[in-house]
Structure 1
Amino acid sequence: MATEGSGPVSTSGLPAAAGSVGVVGETAGAPAAAQPGAPAGSQTATAPGTAAGSGVTPGTAGPSASGPKGAAGSAGAVAADAPCTSQGAPLVIGQNGVWSGLLGANFIGAKTAMSIWAKHVNAKGGLACHPVQLYQTDDGSDPARGSANVTDLILSKKVQALVGLYAPINMAAQASVFHKYNIPVVGGDITDFSWSTDPLLFAQGTSPLHAYASSLKEARLATGYTKFGILSCVEATTCTKIRNSMTTKGGMADLAGVEVAYNQTISLTQTDFTAECQNAKKAGAQVMYLVMDAASLQRLFRSCDAIGYKFPWSGPSLTLTPDLQNDPILRGSTDYVGYFGSSSAPWMSNDTAATKEFQEAYKTYAPGTPPSPASMTGWASGKMLEAVVANIPNARNGPITTAQIFKGLYALKNETLGGLVPGMTFNEGKPSPIVSCYYAELFSRGVFSDPFGSKKRCL
């Protein structure tokens, strides 16, 4: 099994070239280890006879690129499924995200999943016989680092697209860069509300507002309660927008059919939440909607449990991590049952060919590593790039360019990735359309489950 920063990843029917890799390793704030046969300090490795990033010049191709669009079932899509007889130029992509710091534990699964996806597709011959070369960088939620990372990915690594971007706090800093160079972002966390307004952000799932509201609705439907309390962090503008949406006409509460009994801000660095628990209880909040990281969630439950305030809860799916199942208060509890809506299929689902592929890839390339909500969104980002390349006519005939990726994106019509996401359609020069369908997830007795499998539900 190839690992990040390791040697060749073989392709179906083709030996891996010396020095070629599927994933180029990265460490926060330090150079990645050199690849075999590469100069010390180098992060790059290429297929023989090609240049890293060949086929793309930043800023020269974008949403206005003209030419025939691909279509599902087109010649390009058929060719993508045929056996590879030779290896094309690498398809170089980049992923930046928050893999460390306060939110790192919540989102690191997306980095792991993208790495697994790259190895998985390369083991089958790559995309249209182009091996995927993935660069991954960590910004720790720092806007300056995020901007620098994306700049380096575009100008130095010569990526044709950003894929699986995770910027829950610092999206604006990164957006200024990918807009400057007209680079598409294929999938990501879909947490910032700009995923519904920015034409360079191609969301691979439920729109942010509707994803957040879906968790409220699932809690209301399951419990029958309508009085909700909300605790949201002060560290991210997304938290502020969620909090404001709860009390805005036509916002989250209205979409879900609930009322707000208590609305308070908290800090992710807070060590005690006793005051918030007391005030929510006094306000009559029957269900709590919690917008905070997993570590803060556990501290909150300790504080509330200590004063006897027990409640069903809800919140954004990406706030969840596997280690919540080991929390001594939550494990086995029927008091703190959680209800969630997810922008992509539940990460524990195994009821379709698409979800089984995800589970099997995890077992193959990351045995013993539990997936998370971020894992499925990261995987779905990679799968959407697969669908994009399948819609590029004659993708095997030369290096895949940014212009072709835009065309492949605009060719997607009601694309579900085999049921991993609600139907996605993109239109040239327009932001991702509003998608109100989602997938339900449940947390009860310390165990995550998919109460409706990977069947989508809608607001």
Structure 2
Amino acid sequence: MATPRLRKLTTAAVAGVCALALVAGCGGSDVTDAATGTDGSTVQTEPGAVTDPGTTSTETGAEVPAAVATTGTTGGTAPGTTTTDGAAPAGDTTANQPAGNQGGKKPAGGNAAGAAAASGSPVEKLVASHPMFGGNGPCKPATLSEVPLGNVSTLSGVLGELFSPVVNALNVWVASTNACGGLNGHKIKLYFDDDQGDPSTASTKVQNMISSKKILAFVGNIQVLTVDAVAPIIRRTGIPIIGSDVTNSTWFTNPLMFPQGAPQQSIAYGFLYGATKHYKVKNVGLFYCIEVPRSCSDTARAFNDLAPKMGAVVKVSSQVSLTQPSFVQQCLEMKNAGVEAVGLNMDAASMKRIARSCEQVGFFPKAMGHPLGVGNEKQFLGSKWLGNSYVPLNVFGWMASSTPAEKYYQAQVRKFDPGFDTGGAASLGWTAGALMLAASAGLSPDKPTTQQLLDTLWQFKGQKFTELGGLTGPRIFGKDQNPRVPYCLFAAISSEDGNSWKSVTSKPTCTDIVAPSDPQAKG
């Protein structure tokens, strides 16, 4: 049966997304309230200060240069990183072609109607000029009233270490944005809370933040285990979530959720792309976790469904636990099956244990890592077995500093949170902030509202500005419509010794392929 393609999802508008993308070369314990200490949330209130849980910075915001040159590496990036501006994921000689589209057709035509509708609009002008998107507009501190925003994420427990960098990234975004125009002139007041990975706690925290803090929207929620519990609240209250972990299909089946990156199924596509196009092998395997059932199962299903269309053969698909001390049995199974390249859909600590287990039995396949897991560089880097790993990225690479937008990110991290290790959750958080900034173009000077954010987001019909200055690929949003986001992927390659990054692409490669299990295939 033919693989469903993105051009089948809605109308010609979706074809326009891919066409534009190809032309452009696209893609427990609560946290204490730092301001009041009264309700278990933290708040970033100062225009230029970064507030980590339990710490306060007094550095005030200053004018930020529009384009900041960077040298070397920052924020925890390992030495030796190089970036390739505009290159396709390594091994692809056609950066502007749909990667791995075996016999498929390119989407035809552009989205002229959508582009015309937004031409010269406030959001288009904002994305074209603001330094966050690579523009050269002037930066002045925000002076208008505060806009309350919220973030409820899993910041403790087994996955908390993996996800918590989103707090630092969003705090840097708040500080830098308040120092550079704010949200259409408004200062940002951002509240954080920890759902502890518990669905019941998540629903309570989300409801309380909406009712007590009167937030206009959530931004960058990392709720891999809890999004299904909060989705009904979002629908009932009408308070949107702008940017997320994008690891669960739920993020793509709610008109009030606005993803900043491609869905989890795109990572499965990226694993297969890495195997067949970068490594040029066809016999593949997959390790996927049991602890995050929706996300990991979505990946495994898409991996198996897409493999034939990518010229790959899935030899072994192994569900494992993140708490396993040894993976020797699974490594032997893959070795005996002739697996040449293996996808690792899990956290970095588990990847390291897999590496040690496979080394014990003499199994040395090509490795492909999940961006959120690999993003914990302290745990991921340092393994020869994981050297030359291919990592598909559904938003820009946190280690990249090639494009103006990437340079701006690195400069703001150095300025407002020097020494921060960034990582996959941080890239998602920063890109969520970029999407929120774009959505703020329609906020009024007096009485900014949630509806004004929604009205601006509904203008996103795959135009160039929806790529947010190259931080992500294009997207389609609409009133009462589920989001449509094609598989546009960046990529990073680790060094041969596994101690640093060898290369990272700064322009994503897009495809019109979509996994049959992706909710977008049913639109």
Q: Normalization by structure 2: what TM-score? A: 0.71
Aligned-pair RMSD on alpha carbons? 2.7
Q: Specify the alignment match of 2:350 in structure 1.
A: 296
Distance 2:245 2:280 in 1: 30
- 1:265 paired with 2:319, answer yes
- 1:207 paired with 2:258, answer no
Q: Describe how 1:80-91 pairs up with structure 2 within 5 A.
A: 87-91=143-147
- SS of 1:167's equivalent in the other structure is coil
Q: Specify the alignment match of 1:323 in structure 2.
A: 378
Q: Specify the alignment match of 2:151 in structure 1.
A: 95
In the alignment, is the contact (CA less than 8 A) between 1:229 and 1:285 conserved in 2? yes
* Post-superposition offset of 1:325: 5.0
Distance 2:432 2:269 in 1: 22
AA aligned opposite 1:296: S
Distance 1:400 1:281 in 2: 59
- SS of 2:478's equivalent in the other structure is coil
Distance 1:297 1:85 in 2: 43
- 1:385 paired with 2:436, answer yes
Q: Specify the alignment match of 2:451 in structure 1.
A: 403
Q: Work out which of the residue numbers 159, 184, 196 in structure 1 matches 2:215.
A: 159
Deviations, residues 327-361 of structure 1 (Å, cap 9, x unaligned):
3xx1xx37743112111111111111100111001
In the alignment, is the contact (CA less than 8 A) between 2:154 and 2:223 conserved in 1? yes
- 1:242 paired with 2:289, answer no
Q: Specify the alignment match of 2:409 in structure 1.
A: 358
Q: Specify the alignment match of 1:144 in structure 2.
A: 200
* Post-superposition offset of 1:257: 3.1
- 1:310 paired with 2:349, answer no
- SS of 1:411's equivalent in the other structure is coil
- SS of 2:490's equivalent in the other structure is strand
Distance 1:194 1:151 in 2: 18
AA aligned opposite 1:275: Q
Change (3 A) 1:131 1:450: farther
Q: Describe how 1:81-230 pairs up with structure 2 within 5 A.
A: 87-230=143-286
AA aligned opposite 2:478: N
Change (3 A) 1:423 1:85: closer
In the alignment, is the contact (CA less than 8 A) between 2:284 and 2:341 conserved in 1? yes
In the alignment, is the contact (CA less than 8 A) between 2:149 and 2:190 conserved in 1? yes
Distance 2:122 2:310 in 1: 44
AA aligned opposite 1:243: A
Change (3 A) 1:452 1:232: closer
AA aligned opposite 1:245: A
In the alignment, is the contact (CA less than 8 A) between 1:95 and 1:162 conserved in 2? yes
- SS of 1:153's equivalent in the other structure is helix
- 1:74 paired with 2:126, answer no
- SS of 2:213's equivalent in the other structure is coil
- Unaligned 5+ segments in structure 2 are 1-27, 47-115, 131-136, 512-523
- SS of 2:186's equivalent in the other structure is coil
Distance 1:70 1:155 in 2: 35
Distance 1:334 1:149 in 2: 41
Distance 1:241 1:369 in 2: 31
* Post-superposition offset of 1:298: 1.2
* Post-superposition offset of 1:118: 0.7
In the alignment, is the contact (CA less than 8 A) between 1:110 and 1:374 conserved in 2? yes
Deviations, residues 175-211 of structure 1 (Å, cap 9, x unaligned):
1221221221111111102233222221112232123
Q: Specify the alignment match of 1:455 in structure 2.
A: 507
Distance 2:339 2:256 in 1: 39
- SS of 1:431's equivalent in the other structure is strand
Change (3 A) 1:84 1:318: closer
- 1:30 paired with 2:25, answer no
* Post-superposition offset of 1:34: 4.8
Distance 1:111 1:70 in 2: 35
AA aligned opposite 2:404: A
Deviations, residues 140-170 of structure 1 (Å, cap 9, x unaligned):
3211121122112211111111110112222
- Unaligned 5+ segments in structure 1 are 1-27, 48-68
Q: Normalization by structure 1: what TM-score? A: 0.80
Distance 1:235 1:368 in 2: 31
Per mean C-alpha deviation after superposition, the further-off stretch among 94-103 and 81-90 is 81-90
Change (3 A) 1:434 1:128: closer
Deviations, residues 376-411 of structure 1 (Å, cap 9, x unaligned):
111000011111112x1xx34212211111101112
Q: Specify the alignment match of 1:52 in structure 2.
A: none
* Post-superposition offset of 1:39: 7.2
Q: Work out which of the residue numbers 405, 412, 424 in structure 1 matches 2:475.
A: 424
- SS of 2:204's equivalent in the other structure is helix
- SS of 2:255's equivalent in the other structure is coil
AA aligned opposite 1:322: E
Q: Specify the alignment match of 1:369 in structure 2.
A: 420
Change (3 A) 1:310 1:75: closer
- 1:433 paired with 2:484, answer yes
- SS of 1:238's equivalent in the other structure is helix
In the alignment, is the contact (CA less than 8 A) between 1:229 and 1:289 conserved in 2? yes
In the alignment, is the contact (CA less than 8 A) between 1:441 and 1:448 conserved in 2? no
Distance 2:203 2:341 in 1: 38
Distance 1:42 1:262 in 2: 45
In the alignment, is the contact (CA less than 8 A) between 1:440 and 1:450 conserved in 2? no
Deviations, residues 114-141 of structure 1 (Å, cap 9, x unaligned):
1110111112242112110111112232
Distance 1:31 1:191 in 2: 24
AA aligned opposite 2:238: N
Q: Report how many residues are paired.
A: 400
Per mean C-alpha deviation after superposition, the further-off stretch among 146-155 and 76-85 is 76-85
AA aligned opposite 2:166: A
AA aligned opposite 1:238: S
Q: Specify the alignment match of 1:23 in structure 2.
A: none
Change (3 A) 1:42 1:210: closer
In the alignment, is the contact (CA less than 8 A) between 1:217 and 1:257 conserved in 2? no
Change (3 A) 1:195 1:33: closer
